[in-house]
Structure 1
Amino acid sequence: MKLARAGPIVVTGAAGFIGFHVALRLLRRGLVVIGVDNFTPYYDVGLKEARFAQLCAEPRFTPMRMDLADQGQVKALFSDFQPSHFVHLAAQAGVRYSLADPHAYVQSNVVGFLNVLEGCRHAGVSHLVYASSSSVYGANRSIPFSEHHGASHPVSFYAATKSANECMAHSYSHLFGLPVTGLRFFTVYGPWGRPDMAVYTFTHAIAEGRTIEIANAGRVWRDFTYIDDIVEGVVRVLAAPPRPDPDWDSRAADPATSSAPYRIYNIGNDRPEEINRLIAIIETALGRRALRVNVPLPPGDVLETRADVSDLRRAVGFAPATALEDGVQRFVEWYRDFHASPVGRERQAFIQA
């Protein structure tokens, strides 16, 4: 990957799952990375600390523990480091938790993102890449989900904040000529994954002989995408800032196009897998059977997600290549190693307490 005017790169959410892997990939390609995170306790902070420690061992990494909702801290970040590129992956995640604490989503996903946009605008950042979500498709029933379809009916508050991010980013790109790319992530899994996501929660419960709750008898489909494939897509996008389209016609009303240097892409696997099949693969990898309890589909969830990634494929050659069986096997191997380590044992004690 070659970046024009490559200076320091800020990666927010660097102690998070995707942010950690993106930062590590950039560092190992010889780039200077400023890693930002505020270590919110949405899930076990010990796992975040373990990820961050891996990054801090890299010589070109600078750690920054800060809250992006703090305008003064964000101004100082840009002033101190003068980043050339910005990868904004920090967010309050989770569809279900947004029912319990919507204010956390506004502070992190709206206020924090506004501060990032303002910083990038005034610093003349060459390219801002930020995380959106497949959740923005909400009540859209056209499968596969395409950037060229509408995404104006979110069915969770988390999705509403991500939809707001897309509108905010486009306005800054249009008004100030800021090159911005939004990535609608579909279900990502792999080593160092989030413990609230399906692959991790199912693996953890099955390994311990506990029951797992299965929505809609497992007749739910998700576009599971392995972390290495996702990271490759992110870094390729980062090196390809969008340009204004002089032939853009507002009468076309295509959500995926713009006269501004702005683009939005799906980033997923384009091969949805049934939850029942995922569970069977985990059972094989662990050598244990799952104890299942059927539950209704939770509020805000949808039965199927599937990404149309043809635009991203054309733009940067994105081609996810990891089969679900291979990705789950790698995750289970990491899971066993991590939970046998001192950090993993501490996390286990934290969960049981």
Structure 2
Amino acid sequence: MQHKDRQLLFSGMVGVIEEIYGAASCCQLDAMLRQKLTTKLDEFLLESQPVALTEATILIADLRGFTALMESLPSHLMVGLLNRFYGLMAQLIERHGGVIDKFMGDSVMALFGAPVRRADDLLRALACAVEMQQAMAEMNRHSEGRGEPSLYAGIGVSTGDVMAGSFGSRLYSEYTVIGDPVNLAARIEGYSLRGQVLISETSYLGARGHIEIGAVNDVMVKGKVKPVTLYELKAVSYPIPLAVPEIEIRKSPRIIVDFPVVFRKVEAKRILSERFTGKVNDLGYYGLSADLPLILPPYSEILMSLTPELGVDHAVEVYARVLRASGEQGPYRTNLQFTTMDTPGHRKVKQYVDQMLWGQ
């Protein structure tokens, strides 16, 4: 329980005393209560939520490209979009019996199985993830009608044993979970494309009789010696049939091009300093194909600097994720999907494609 929750409980106790004994007595007792009872109250609240080992499913949903999008949005619109996202996610987590652990910048982490464990925690978490993507698609339809940018989320889900309880001190504590499944959920979310739900192998094995999956990929994640298998969740059958909306990757026209691209790897939302140069072969509204000097694993993220070939006097930066790469000894033909939508860089790409196609 967080410090602010303890303050609310303390205020409630003072209110009861005021109602019974009157305002004057309350004022006299207020200082005494704070001196005598706060320590014991903290101890009670910490003891009432002891740290214990339990199995839980962790769900992390993160907005794709929101940091880059913020650079081109008025602050009031940015706050409105973010609050709309938080509101939708909170409603769905509550509806499926989950608990919001925390909001983190442009992402939300939810728990299923802590503090209360149920037999169907995993299945409810997966249904929640699917409904989250459905809600994002519906929100984007309304945003398009208002002339606002679309938002896309990537979702990661992991299941396993965690330590759950109140962590902290008497000055500040909060209920949360720690353990490898929490870290893994964050890594999995980092690999998810916009509109996609990726789940861990443990989550897949626990729910395989009630779900439909798509692509299966082995990836290397930080902190793991061996590759981790990720499963793309396509649909669930519990408690009712639900399907993840399709985000069509090649739904725009493509143009044949031939110009260089400079790119840098992005790991844990940190842009690495080392630069590599490749060559773009074709370009569309939502992605491109390029020949790169090294193999990049599926779902890995890069920041690309496209040259002034796009008709601007400076390089245009766009974030993208790797869909697949092929080739035996380089250059390696790599298909990428843009993760930043409606940013200045992405708009320049779309403008360039339109100009090449129709002279617009």
Query: Where on the TM-score scale, by shorter chain, does this alignment land: which range?
Result: under 0.3
When you count strand as a share of all residues, which structure comes out higher?
Answer: 2
TM-score by length of 2: 0.25
Greater RCO, CA 8 A, separation 6+: 1
Q: Greater share of helix residues, 1 or 2?
A: 1
TM-score with structure 1 length normalisation?
Answer: 0.25
